[in-house]
Chains A and B, each alone.
Chain A
Amino acid sequence: MSAAATGKILRSPRQTAGTLPQTERAQALLQVRGLSVRFQTDAGAMQAVDGVNLDLHPGETLAIVGESGSGKSVLSLALMGLLPSIATVTAERMQFAGRDLRSLAPRDWQRLRGREMSMIFQEPATALNPVRSVGAQIVEAIRLHEKVSRKAAWARAVDMLRQTGIPAPERRAAAYPHELSGGMRQRAMIAMSLVLRPSLLIADEPTTALDVTVQAQILDLLRGLARESGTAILIITHDLGVVAEMADRVQVLYAGRPVESATAEALFNGPEHPYTVGLLGSMPSKGERAEALLPIEGSIPDLRALPPGCHFHPRCPFAAARCRVERPPVAEVRPGHHTACWFSPLLETLEKST
């Protein structure tokens, strides 16, 4: 978060925080209420994230689902305090491990990042420094936060590389990023981000650039390491297959707004928002050979010229007059299952009308 962060309330979304039991509130590692991010660009103001609520407990995996332009990466950068100064971050509440992220000084951010929260990116080739060996980069991360000798740090780096399943880690630690394959680079990235045992790992499309076989290996690895160390994972993806395998809870974003939030089980067994339904329908299932895939017509709107009412209405096959003018509030359809749609509960409403 930049110095521009004010903590001022832009608007007041539904207060769900008050309804949570006291114990659950105390335990949450990350708790966010009404997070909004606004960019001031030459072409006008742009609301990239609008009223997002998050709860993440230790050891839990939360998936943020959305397509490009849905604000999911901006959200993760806001949580890491990595947004440029043209961004204004506002939230009613932004609590991480007992600290208020809204009023954190840059120095405190630096202590937090890498040590207590870390991040892995989609393209490890651009996230790693090309002119330093991967071992040296891991050593740097360790010595930035802990007073240990170079030698001890190197031994830890090698050990961490071994845990990520890199063969011959003593040799590979001295390798430069370009000497490693994509899967190996992503393992090195994971080693670097987990070496200090952070309590939160943000994984932004960690497997999108990888082959399916390697993707399965990396997801296995992330799951295993998180289980061992109790690290909570915030995984950002557009791939519902990845969500199904990794996530305990899911938050679906569309054009910066939260449209559906539920446990992964509830989401796959009964999606509520038409956008989620569209996402589920647009991917061919295993063993399926339908006549035609079910695309979501049109494309995601320009964040500088968002449609009024429900942002999804121009692409929604169910859209009614009300959807074009009035923004649907986030409401709870079933316990723990929230959605922002005038048709909620979707199946019942649709069956009634036909």
Chain B
Amino acid sequence: MTLLTVENLVRDFPIGSGLPWRRETLRAVDGVSFAIAPGETLSLVGESGCGKSTVGRMIVGLLQPSSGSIAFGGRPVAAGRARARQMQIVFQDPFGSLNPQMTVGAIVAEPAVLHCLVTRRETAARARTLLALVGLPEDAAERYPHEFSGGQRQRIAIARALAAEPKLIVCDEAVSALDVSVQAQITNLLRDIQQRTGIGYLFISHDLNLVHHISHRVAVMYLGRIVEIGPVDQVFAAPRHPYTRALMAAAPEPRPVREGGRARGRAVLQGEVPSPLDPPSGCRFHTRCPHATALCGTAEPVLGGEGDHAVACHHFRTLPPVPPQRADTAARTESVLRLYRRAAAARAATVT
């Protein structure tokens, strides 16, 4: 059973001066298909400009697809209110996405009021329940967004997204702007909510370590196309597309073992993403791919493969195997982390 199915999603943006003979189109998303099951987290990863946010916005209805279909629970999604009840979105910037003139209680309860889920008398109680769900104090309802830190604001945005009791939340870089310690708090909160309510997430992010940690499945996008999609463990243990491999090699290791000198530099992917106004012929990645052959410059590979792990690459069967990614943290650091974890758990237990 699937919650959300998108098929062949395409989105064009007109670019240029407005003069008809100088108009160009930028194809930001070019034939994207995937499905999300209830209680599942699918992550969309890729560099900026790959179209991942555009996909998220089309799903919640903030942008209309140029072509393709979006189905929710097996039926094409309706526009407007009905869609908003099923799907919500949390944005990256908790400073720009909350109305500064509304109290936090009003912000959080607004979707519930709009969808007639509560009577006026119940509004305040609903706001308090939602704020408690995301771990904010009860008196937060009477205060204004500017009185809160970035992490707390992101909690408010999540509470608001939950108000309409949606079945899917699109998290568009929802934790990227937060400090690392707070990032972990919000990530854990999202996971707890999923375990309690069975909500599905489309998690849009560029942080591969985080994506590996929180998702069930992952889709890698490059220049508007999905180049690899599959269960997170399979994709991370044995990435098939050269681009996925390059992204993983480029991700920094936050807890390396260092023996003299500096940590090993990362394998650097050369060049930048080509302009989507004029995407390369054949495989779009061939201009930066270390394994590219003449075939890649002419024929576009199709997304396919065994089971639920699909890849769009001509040569994925013959690529050299990837060395295991697991980092071994220093023994002393491990021990301290273990004690820290234990103390933190003990403290959390005494507080609640």
A241 touches B253 (CB 8 A): yes
Residues of A within 8 A of B327 (CB): 285-288
In the complex, 25 of the A-B residue pairs with CB atoms within 8 angstroms, ordered by the A residue number, are: A67-B181, A213-B47, A214-B272, A217-B269, A238-B180, A244-B258, A268-B333, A269-B332, A269-B333, A271-B333, A271-B336, A281-B184, A282-B184, A284-B209, A284-B212, A285-B255, A286-B212, A286-B251, A287-B236, A288-B326, A292-B188, A294-B337, A294-B340, A296-B184, A317-B346
Residues of B within 8 A of A326 (CB): none
Complexed CA–CA distance, A294 and B347 (Å): 13
Q: For the complex formed, measure the closest distance between the CB of A23 and the CB atoms of chain B, giving whole angstroms.
A: 22
Q: Chain B residue with minimal CB distance to A283? A: B254
Q: Is A347 an interface residue (CB 8 A)?
A: yes
B212 touches A280 (CB 8 A): no
Q: Is B197 an interface residue (CB 8 A)?
A: no
Residues of B within 8 A of A192 (CB): none
Q: For the complex formed, measure the closest distance between the CB of A73 and the CB atoms of chain B, giving whole angstroms.
A: 13
Interface residues of B (CB under 8 A from A): 47-48, 149-152, 179-185, 187-188, 191, 206-210, 212-213, 232-233, 236, 246-248, 250-260, 262-263, 265-270, 272, 324-327, 329-330, 332-333, 335-337, 339-341, 343-344, 346-348
A297 touches B185 (CB 8 A): yes
Residues of B within 8 A of A297 (CB): 185, 344, 347-348
Pick the residue among B233, B250, B258, B263 that contacts A212 (CB under 8 A). B250
Given A217-B268, A244-B258, A292-B191, the answer on whether A280 and B181 have CB atoms closer than 8 Å is no
Q: For the complex formed, measure the closest distance between the CB of A285 and the CB atoms of chain B, giving whole angstroms.
A: 5
Pick the residue among B181, B210, B346 that contacts A295 (CB under 8 A). B181
B263 touches A245 (CB 8 A): yes
Residues of A within 8 A of B335 (CB): 347
B272 touches A181 (CB 8 A): yes
Kindly state the interface size class of chain A when it binds its partner: 35 or more
Residues of B within 8 A of A215 (CB): 250, 252
Complexed CA–CA distance, A350 and B126 (Å): 44
Q: For the complex formed, measure the closest distance between the CB of B92 and the CB atoms of chain A, giving whole angstroms.
A: 12
The CB with the most chain A CB atoms within 10 A, among B47, B206, B340, is that of: B340
B206 touches A212 (CB 8 A): yes
Residues of B within 8 A of A350 (CB): 336, 339
Residues of B within 8 A of A265 (CB): 258-260
Q: Is A274 an interface residue (CB 8 A)?
A: yes
Residues of A within 8 A of B347 (CB): 297, 317
Pick the residue among B184, B212, B265, B270 that contacts A288 (CB under 8 A). B212
Q: Is A196 an interface residue (CB 8 A)?
A: no
Q: Chain B residue with minimal CB distance to A299? A: B149
Q: Is A46 an interface residue (CB 8 A)?
A: no
Given A277-B337, A299-B182, the answer on whether A241 and B149 have CB atoms closer than 8 Å is no
Q: Chain B residue with minimal CB distance to A315? A: B181
Given A265-B259, A292-B188, the answer on whether A287 and B336 have CB atoms closer than 8 Å is no
Further contacts, 17 of them, CB under 8 A, given A184-B272, A212-B251, A346-B336: A211-B48, A214-B272, A217-B269, A220-B268, A244-B258, A245-B265, A268-B333, A280-B254, A283-B183, A286-B326, A288-B209, A288-B212, A289-B212, A289-B213, A289-B232, A293-B187, A350-B336
B252 touches A270 (CB 8 A): no
Given A293-B187, A350-B339, the answer on whether A241 and B252 have CB atoms closer than 8 Å is yes
Q: Which of A250-305 contact B (CB under 8 A)?
A: 264-265, 268-271, 274, 277-290, 292-297, 299-300
Complexed CA–CA distance, A182 and B150 (Å): 24
A293 touches B262 (CB 8 A): no
Complexed CA–CA distance, A296 and B329 (Å): 19
Complexed CA–CA distance, A351 and B342 (Å): 12
Q: Chain A residue with minimal CB distance to B347? A: A317
A245 touches B252 (CB 8 A): yes
Query: Per-residue 0/1 for A227-248: is the Cβ within 8 Å of any B Cβ (1 yes, 0 no)?
Result: 0000000000011111011111
Pick the residue among A213, A214, A280, A318 that contacts B337 (CB under 8 A). A280
Q: Which of A302-354 contact B (CB under 8 A)?
A: 317-318, 346-347, 350-351, 354
The CB with the most chain B CB atoms within 10 A, among A213, A270, A274, is that of: A213
Q: For the complex formed, measure the closest distance between the CB of B34 and the CB atoms of chain A, giving whole angstroms.
A: 21
Complexed CA–CA distance, A350 and B324 (Å): 33
Complexed CA–CA distance, A99 and B189 (Å): 51
Pick the residue among B209, B232, B247 that contacts A283 (CB under 8 A). B209
A239 touches B254 (CB 8 A): yes
Complexed CA–CA distance, A216 and B212 (Å): 19
B181 touches A296 (CB 8 A): yes
B272 touches A285 (CB 8 A): no
Q: Chain B residue with minimal CB distance to A207? A: B252
Please provide the 9 A-B residue pairs with the shortest distance between their CB atoms, ordered closest to farther: A241-B252, A295-B184, A317-B343, A296-B181, A293-B184, A282-B184, A287-B326, A284-B213, A287-B325
A317 touches B340 (CB 8 A): yes
Complexed CA–CA distance, A294 and B183 (Å): 10
Q: For the complex formed, measure the closest distance between the CB of A214 and the CB atoms of chain B, giving whole angstroms.
A: 7
B179 touches A67 (CB 8 A): yes
Pick the residue among B180, B253, B325, B333 that contacts A270 (CB under 8 A). B333
